[in-house]
């Protein structure tokens, strides 16, 4: 089979489809915008708690990053623990780290409760060091994480790395056995079904174009205009991540949409698959401009990276296929002859401080900013913000932390600076 510009994961599942009900409901308790992990997890929780919920999705369920990602369910956050402690202090960082661990339990529990057939497995992750000084820092990180967060990671010396990965280009590694892997398209499909089973309604092909405050029968709320007509909602939850657009301009200004791209090979012979990833870990390297990779459950090598910084389009996807194939062969020369069968891209959401953020803005609830750690955290934030909306007081250390915008306010939501950011990251990888 030749190379297809197509998401491999979506070939493994029949995505459920609910279309757009016409007419839209006249009024609901909560309108959720976006049918990815965030929105569907929120809708499931809200509906289970008795709220009338409608999910408004401009495309189809899971169309955004949620069906396109690497399926790595990772502990920790994008920023390292020392950086986090310097930004937030020990106590808040401890709560954030605990939330990152709880987010993986949250995914596991939903998968189990809803019987989602998505190959969830606690296979652990391996971070590999591209430089000696990155490796030297692993021992310090392992010590801080054990002392401060009571969580055990393991350093793998270069001469033992062969038990973890069939590549000899790295200086050593760090393993966390708690991380997991899954098939994201099957997971988001299952989450959608679970939300509907709980009583939520999903309206696909229904793009939110704008909203304004409008009280009804003495109740505060929102009139929401969509491509399929208007509806009224008591509350709004925004879960639009890297695809946040003009309907929520204040949120849009706080998010940098960044493209990430993935290739997958043909199915590898069993022995070769075992050689490249003997323990079937979720693997990523220590660079800013990083590669992340894993085997799929049917033994393909799935290899991703920020090959082009701009969000996906025909040009960036094609360019990325070549760049990622070269990157994959640098890591694994033994995959030189493996055919690349799929390539696709998706958009990640980075906040300017590279942290997740959740809470309320302009009277609307939101959760964004997962920076490539969204499989677990988006699911978790959807659930936690939903709990907040129904009046619980859930533990959520990401609510209320400062949410910085662009320096000097030089950003209207169009990421003109991405080529510079890309060059800057490459420069940092060279010097650090």
Ligand X SMILES: Cc1cc2nc3c(=O)[nH]c(=O)nc-3n(C[C@H](O)[C@H](O)[C@H](O)COP(=O)(O)OP(=O)(O)OC[C@H]3O[C@@H](n4cnc5c(N)ncnc54)[C@H](O)[C@@H]3O)c2cc1C
Residues within the interface to ligand X (CB under 6 A)? 33-39, 56-59, 63-66, 68-72, 74, 207-208, 239-243, 245, 247, 260, 262, 304, 346-348, 370, 372-376, 378
Q: Do residues 49 and 386 lie in contact, with contact meaning Cβ atoms separated by under 8 Å?
A: yes
The 3-state secondary structure of 107-132, one letter per residue: HHHHHHHCCCCCCCECCCEEEECCCH
Name the minimum Å distance from CB 226 to ligand X.
7
363: closest CA among 239, 220, 232? 220
Q: Which is nearer to ligand X, 172 or 305 (CB)?
A: 305
Distance, CA of 185 to CA of 190 (rounded, Å): 9
DSSP strand pairing (255-265 vs 301-305) = antiparallel
Name the minimum Å distance from CB 56 to ligand X.
5
Q: Which is nearer to ligand X, 35 or 116 (CB)?
A: 35
Name the minimum Å distance from CB 102 to ligand X.
15
Name the minimum Å distance from CB 372 to ligand X.
5
In three-state secondary structure terms, 68 is: coil
Which DSSP state fits 335?
G
Q: Do residues 123 and 162 lie in contact, with contact meaning Cβ atoms separated by under 8 Å?
A: no
Q: Where are the extended beta strands (E) located within 62-179? A: 72-73, 125-128, 154-157, 172-176
Q: Which is nearer to ligand X, 64 or 166 (CB)?
A: 64
Q: Which is nearer to ligand X, 36 or 422 (CB)?
A: 36
306: closest CA among 70, 126, 76? 70
Q: Which is nearer to ligand X, 90 or 213 (CB)?
A: 213
302: closest CA among 334, 338, 333? 338
Name the minimum Å distance from CB 59 to ligand X.
4
Name the minimum Å distance from CB 341 to ligand X.
16
Name the minimum Å distance from CB 404 to ligand X.
19
Q: Which residue is at the shortest CB distance from ligand X?
A: 374
Alpha-carbon radius of gyration of the chain: 21
Q: Do residues 418 and 426 lie in contact, with contact meaning Cβ atoms separated by under 8 Å?
A: no
Q: Which is nearer to ligand X, 219 or 298 (CB)?
A: 298
Joined together, the tokens standing for residue 340 give 């690349």
Q: Where are the extended beta strands (E) located within 21-63? A: 27-33, 53-56
65: closest CA among 369, 355, 348? 348
Name the minimum Å distance from CB 376 to ligand X.
6
Return phi, psi of residue 413, to 5°. Answer: 105, -10
Q: Which is nearer to ligand X, 84 or 368 (CB)?
A: 368
Q: Which is nearer to ligand X, 167 or 183 (CB)?
A: 183
Joined together, the tokens standing for residue 280 give 């079937």
Q: Which is nearer to ligand X, 366 or 411 (CB)?
A: 366
**Count of CB atoms within 10 A of residue 387's CB?**
18
Name the minimum Å distance from CB 179 to ligand X.
9
């Amino acid at each position: 089979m030749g190379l297809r510009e197509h998401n491999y994961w979506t070939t493994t599942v029949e995505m459920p489809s609910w279309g757009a009900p016409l007419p839209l409901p006249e009024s609901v308790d909560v309108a959720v915008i976006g049918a990815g992990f965030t929105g569907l997890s929120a809708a499931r929780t809200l509906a289970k708690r008795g709220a009338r919920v409608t999910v408004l999705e401009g495309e189809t369920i899971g169309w955004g990053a949620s069906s396109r990602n690497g399926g790595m369910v990772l502990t920790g956050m994008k920023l390292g623990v020392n950086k986090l402690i310097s930004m937030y202090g020990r106590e808040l960082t401890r709560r954030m780290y605990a939330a990152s661990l709880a987010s993986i339990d949250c995914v596991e529990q939903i998968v189990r409760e809803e019987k989602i057939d998505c190959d969830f497995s606690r296979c652990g992750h391996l971070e590999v060091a591209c430089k000696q000084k990155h490796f030297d820092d692993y021992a310090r990180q392992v010590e801080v994480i054990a002392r401060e967060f009571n969580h055990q990671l393991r350093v793998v010396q270069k001469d033992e790395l062969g038990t973890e990965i069939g590549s000899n280009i790295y200086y050593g590694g760090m393993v966390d056995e708690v991380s997991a892997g899954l098939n994201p398209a099957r997971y988001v499909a299952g989450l959608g079904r679970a939300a509907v089973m709980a009583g939520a309604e999903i309206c696909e092909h229904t793009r939110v174009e704008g909203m304004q405050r409008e009280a009804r029968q003495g109740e505060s709320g929102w009139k929401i205009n969509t491509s399929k007509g208007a509806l009224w909602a008591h509350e709004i939850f925004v879960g639009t991540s890297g695809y946040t657009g003009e309907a929520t301009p204040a949120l849009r200004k706080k998010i940098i949409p960044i493209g990430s791209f993935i290739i997958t090979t043909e199915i590898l012979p069993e022995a070769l698959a075992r050689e490249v990833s003997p323990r079937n870990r979720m693997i990523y390297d220590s660079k800013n401009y990083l590669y992340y990779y894993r085997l799929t459950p049917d033994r393909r090598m799935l290899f991703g990276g920020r090959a082009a910084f701009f969000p996906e389009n025909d040009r960036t996807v094609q360019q990325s296929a070549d760049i990622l194939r070269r990157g994959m062969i640098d890591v694994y020369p033994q995959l030189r002859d493996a055919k690349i069968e799929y390539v696709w891209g998706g958009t990640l959401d980075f906040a300017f401080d590279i942290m997740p953020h959740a809470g309320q803005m302009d009277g609307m609830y939101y959760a964004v900013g997962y920076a490539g750690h969204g499989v677990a955290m988006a699911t978790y934030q959807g659930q936690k913000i939903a709990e907040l909306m129904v009046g619980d007081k859930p533990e959520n250390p990401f609510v209320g932390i400062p949410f910085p915008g662009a320096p000097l306010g030089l950003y209207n939501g169009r990421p003109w600076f991405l080529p510079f950011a890309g060059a800057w990251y490459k420069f940092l990888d060279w010097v650090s």
